[in-house]
Amino acid sequence: MAIELGNKKGPGRGGRREGAGRKAADGVTVADTVQITARVTPEQRERFLDLGGSEWLRAIIDRESDKNV
């Protein structure tokens, strides 16, 4: 008895779904952002995470941008 798996429909769970996943602490969604890359030492990475990671960095950039207005 052969089982055909290629056309079988599953229970509809899994995969990418709109609204799925962890929500950002500061309300900023992935669709609202772009990714940047910086090379840092392991110690600097730990400090970055201790300071608040991406949320902290966005706040610093916004604060500095407000000073230049």
In a domain, 12, yes or no: no
Q: Which residues contact 24 (CB under 8 A, 6 or more apart)?
A: 55
Q: Under the phi-then-psi rule, with left for phi > 0, alpha for psi from -120 to 50, and beta for the rest, what region is 27?
A: left
In a domain, 57, yes or no: yes
In a domain, 24, yes or no: no
In a domain, 23, yes or no: no
pLDDT tens-digit map of 13-67 = 777 777 777 777 777 777 888 999 999 999 999 999 999 999 899 999 999 998 8
pTM over 0.85: no
**Residue 40 is part of which domain span?**
36-67
In a domain, 30, yes or no: no
In a domain, 11, yes or no: no
